A = this chain, B = another copy of it.
Amino acid sequence: MKIVIIGAVAAGSKCAAKLKRDNPNFEIEIYTEDDHISYSACGMPYFIEGMVKYEDLIARTPEEFEKNGIKVFLKHKVTEIIRREKKIRVTNKDNHLVVKYDKLVIATGATPITPPIKNVKAKNVFSLRTLEDAKNIREIMLTSKTATIVGGGYIGIELMEAFVKNGLKVNLIEFSPQILPVFDFEIAELIKAHILKKEKENVNIITSDGVVEFVLENGIAKKILTQKGNELESDFVVICAGVRPNSELARASGLELGIKNTIKVNSLMQTSDSDIYAVGDCAEKTNVITQKPAWIPMGSTANKEGRTAALTLSGKKEPFEGILGSAVTRYFDFTVAMTGLTQKEAEKNCQNIITATVTKEDIVSFMPNAKSITVKIVACKDNGKILGAQAIGCGDAIQRINSIAALLQTKGTVFDLLNLDLPYAPPYSPTIDPLLSAAQIIFNKANK
């Protein structure tokens, strides 16, 4: 059995490693146009910040894979999948190869979207996908005083922290009316208010506006012009305007595509061709709550999908049920976390929504390190099912989202939450956890 894997950041490398461990006799080859495999893309903002060493981002080197009997072909770009012959075409500099496969795993990931901005290819305009990108951004940051981030999603916020920590002044421009557009508006506003309060001097956040042009000087973006007539200057720019799945190869070979041009897969990670699998950021996901197709690329999901594909290829069937849309990041000590549906998403799936938002201390208020968090819970009034939660603040927001994620996975209700026996002690939670306070509010609203 020869298994060929295209791409190996998270899903591909996990799939390869597990396959070889479970099936030492399988022949496994990885092809990637990158210089590296098996690295932490999510860790790159912390490398740029200077908190994490470059070498530490690499989970396993190609040599370690080779030692385990997995052949790794770096800088080998796959240009075509020839399904009827079960072959792929590969280009390495001027060499062209044709490689046969018994089973093919597509793990081509996602690529940053380049918005239609004039002179977007200017030398000091970056995006963040590869380790090389991270190195380049860190290099220019270290000699800069100002930066502009285009896009206020998770990576935009993480880079803003990195730059501010390194003493830069930062513009952040977000096209939506709010930063972190996946959150509900009023929650995102609380996050923005916190950042601006802390960083009045260092951060300039512009929402509902988009960059239209970089004005060049010697090939360098000198001025940044926006739709609304803002004119900004900064030493460099990073574009974090979202990503799109790398599904070109799959599409060209006639594989069925899914939502947002992802590669359609079943719960065993099989594409419409039973000899081809897709895993990670290029593959479609299922939202466990709505049971509808979804696409939220995450390293943790990529890992689960790589494992699932390896199990299927090993003859075991252990379906991957899908995602909840759980996510977390922080701005310094301020956590922003969510799971499931926001109110705006929930309203598309349930006629009758109830929500509760509670701001309260994360542990018993007399403890000296008690800090505030805001928790918003969204539920369906018709059946009491919890649909999602958002939690933000300098206190422990993540443990609350972890609880709700577990309730979502098992279709839990507000009544389950109301009864939930969370471990209690003054250094860990108040007697009535913020989640339970929110559940009480929802329960009262539901019974009106």
Chain A residues numbered 284-331 whose CB sits less than 8 Å from any CB in chain B: 288, 298-301, 303-304, 307, 316, 318, 320-330
Q: A419 to B320, Cβ gap below 8 A? A: yes
17 further interface pairs, Cβ-Cβ under 8 Å (given A51-B368, A154-B425): A40-B364, A42-B425, A43-B364, A43-B367, A43-B426, A57-B366, A288-B421, A299-B431, A300-B433, A304-B436, A323-B421, A327-B424, A330-B425, A330-B427, A337-B423, A398-B423, A410-B416
Chain B residues with CB below 8 A from A409, complex form: 407, 412, 416, 419-421
Q: A366-B52, A368-B51, A409-B416 are in contact. Are A300 and B431 (CB under 8 A)?
A: yes
Are the C-beta atoms of A339 and B423 separated by less than 8 Å?
Answer: yes
Q: Nearest-CB distance from A86 to chain B (Å)?
A: 30
Question: Can you list 24 pairs linking A and B with CB atoms under 8 Å apart?
Answer: A10-B431, A40-B366, A42-B424, A42-B431, A46-B367, A52-B366, A57-B366, A298-B421, A299-B424, A300-B433, A304-B419, A318-B418, A326-B424, A327-B423, A327-B425, A328-B428, A330-B425, A337-B428, A398-B399, A400-B402, A403-B406, A406-B420, A407-B410, A409-B420
Question: What is the bound-complex CA distance between A51 and B427, given in angstroms?
Answer: 11
Q: Is A53 among interface residues, defined by CB-CB distance under 8 A?
A: yes
A410-B416, A419-B320 known; A425-B328 Cβ under 8 A: yes
Minimum CB–CB distance from A150 to chain B (whole Å) comes to 21
Q: How many of chain A's residues touch chain B, expressed as a range?
A: 35 or more
Residue from B40, B324, B400 in contact with A426 in the complex, judged by beta carbons closer than 8 Å: B40
Tell yes or no: A411 within 8 A of B by CB.
yes
- Residues of B contacting A318 in the complex (Cβ-Cβ under 8 angstroms): 418, 443
Cα distance A329–B425 in the bound complex, in angstroms: 6
A: residues with CB less than 8 A from B are: 10, 40, 42-43, 46, 51-53, 56-57, 154, 288, 298-301, 303-304, 307, 316, 318, 320-330, 335, 337-339, 364, 366-368, 396, 398-407, 409-412, 416, 418-429, 431-433, 436, 440, 443, 447
Q: Are B300 and A367 in contact (CB under 8 A)?
A: no
Residues in chain B near residue A432, CB distance under 8 A: 300, 303
Residue of B nearest to A302 (CB): B431
Q: A316-B447, A398-B428, A409-B407 are in contact. Are A421 and B325 (CB under 8 A)?
A: yes
Given A366-B52, A366-B56, CB of A423 within 8 Å of CB of B402: yes
CA distance A323 to B339 in the complex (A): 25
Judge whether A405 and B421 touch: CB under 8 Å. Answer: yes
C-alpha gap A57/B300 in the complex (Å):
42
A52-B367, A412-B406 known; A424-B298 Cβ under 8 A: yes
| 4 closest Cβ pairs, A-B complex | A406-B406, A56-B366, A300-B424, A328-B423
* Contact present for B424 and A405 (CB under 8 Å): no
Query: Bound state CA distance, A307 and B416, in angstroms?
Result: 16
Q: How far is the CA of A304 from the CA of B419 in the complex (A)?
A: 8
Q: Which residue of B lies closest to A301 (CB)?
A: B421
Query: What residues of chain B lie closer than 8 Å to A411, measured between beta carbons?
Result: 410
Q: How far is the CB of A6 from chain B (nearest CB, A)?
A: 20
Could you tell me if B424 and A328 are in contact, using CB atoms closer than 8 angstroms?
yes
* Bound Cα distance from A90 to B295, whole angstroms: 66
Cβ-defined contact, B422 with A405, below 8 A: yes
Most interface-central of A321, A324, A402, A432 (chain B CB within 10 A): A402
Q: A52-B366, A409-B407 are in contact. Are A426 and B328 (CB under 8 A)?
A: no
A403: contacting residue among B46, B405, B447, CB under 8 A: B405
Q: CA–CA, A299 to B406, complex, Å?
A: 24
Which residues of chain B come closer than 8 Å to A323, judged between CB atoms? Answer: 421
Return chain B residues, CB-CB under 8 Å to A367.
43, 46, 51-52
B405 touches A423 (CB 8 A): yes
